[in-house]
Structure 1
């Protein structure tokens, strides 16, 4: 998905799946309501090991998964019989207006150009189609953030630094940032990336979880004309 080499999950899929998918809730907080009922194929961009496939199916849609990591897709195949493919999230291998639904889940920190990912996701949507963005909260989660034991967060002034961040002492030794690296999209950049798609922004959500939100979700719709 047009990532720096350090951000690829090849060779880490089993570790990732064990830590973030196996034993987790079947539906991420607020995602079923944000997605709503639907039909037809739903493109899960950056699908990883298939964490959200059950949510897609429960909504009435069919899974189509794309990820930059063949290793991640190896495990995703155990969760769906639908089409899966290795591909670049910023250059999707689909024709214009191919899907009624697309999802961009937890990849803003894994790609070089998040705005380009959203632009191409909007391209493959049919008129009236919806795009779901769900992932790292730009303000309270990312390479500029320290998670404190009391549940509070410390935000460093590097918040204003977009793009890939160098490793920091607070990243820890066994977290995803240490293993994968992390790019940062400040809030203004994040919102402007959605506005630049030309989609209509319908709903924002800070999903339930810790007192300080770690995720931000967006539903946007492609105009009918």
Structure 2
């Protein structure tokens, strides 16, 4: 299933209220993964600017791209830096343009996550850092049911079903899955997509916050 229009258009206000309660906070472990730096940092799939504060706190300057003009409408309230409506799989930047790039919570939305990673690697300068942080392929996604009462997860056999998932009976009625839909990348495919970039994989992390990790983070460097 390919998106002819941005899936988040018309949902930016709902998304921001649900997921960006405090724009002046860091997602667990993100600032440490980035480390200190300088110069422009490309936020790929920047959404409403949830991570602009972290980019600035790391010493860098915000440059954002997103496919949704509606998301960018709110993002513009959080930065004076350049924000561009663009496809992550076809970034409008020359080779070796950035020292740093981040891709946050994009793997379940993009039609071609592997190509987006190749694009991220292309725009990095030698020595540049990519931090990708998002849905844990094993413990999060369209195949998983959350039980918030006891912090357990039920994993359905659809784990091996890569690609776009149609709504399933176990999806929550008001969650992001019902509103947006969801793409799944099994763990092996996810890791192989990073290997194909040619980047040196420096660090993997399952950020803390809940007993069963719902996120997986990767830091890689262009050599």
Deviation at 1:170, TM superposition (A): 1.5
Q: Kindly report which structure 2 residues correspond to 1:105-116, keeping only aligned pairs within 5 A, or say none.
A: 105-116=104-115
Q: Match of 2:26?
A: 27
Post-superposition Cα deviations, 1:83-122, rounded to whole Å, max 9, x if no partner, equal 0010000000000000000101101000111100000000
Distance 1:5 1:157, change over 3 A: farther
Q: Which runs of 4+ in 1 moved over 4 A?
A: none
Q: Match of 2:116?
A: 117
Deviation at 1:209, TM superposition (A): 1.2
Deviation at 1:171, TM superposition (A): 1.2
Distance 1:72 1:3, change over 3 A: farther
Q: Match of 2:14?
A: 15
Secondary structure in structure 1 of the residue aligned to 2:216: strand
TM-score (norm 2): 0.97
Q: Match of 1:164?
A: 164
Secondary structure in structure 2 of the residue aligned to 1:78: coil
Q: How many residues align?
A: 222
Q: Match of 2:216?
A: 216
Q: Kindly report which structure 2 residues correspond to 1:198-217, keeping only aligned pairs within 5 A, or say none.
A: 198-217=198-217
Deviates more, 1:165-174 or 1:88-97: 165-174
Tell whether the 8 Å contact from 1:144 to 1:158 is kept in structure 2 after alignment.
Answer: yes
Q: Kindly report which structure 2 residues correspond to 1:46-65, keeping only aligned pairs within 5 A, or say none.
A: 46-65=45-64
Q: Match of 1:177?
A: 177
TM-score (norm 1): 0.96
Secondary structure in structure 1 of the residue aligned to 2:65: strand
CA distance in 2, matches of 1:32, 1:3: 33
CA distance in 2, matches of 1:70, 1:173: 26
Deviation at 1:24, TM superposition (A): 6.4
Secondary structure in structure 2 of the residue aligned to 1:79: coil
Q: Match of 1:196?
A: 196
CA distance in 2, matches of 1:106, 1:16: 13
Q: Kindly report which structure 2 residues correspond to 1:134-153, keeping only aligned pairs within 5 A, or say none.
A: 134-148=133-147, 149-153=149-153
Which stretches in structure 2 are left out of the alignment for 5+ residues?
A: none
Tell whether the 8 Å contact from 1:45 to 1:65 is kept in structure 2 after alignment.
Answer: yes
Tell whether the 8 Å contact from 1:151 to 1:211 is kept in structure 2 after alignment.
Answer: yes
Which stretches in structure 1 are left out of the alignment for 5+ residues?
A: none
Alignment RMSD, CA only?
Answer: 1.4
Deviation at 1:23, TM superposition (A): 3.3
CA distance in 2, matches of 1:198, 1:136: 22
CA distance in 1, matches of 2:2, 2:196: 21
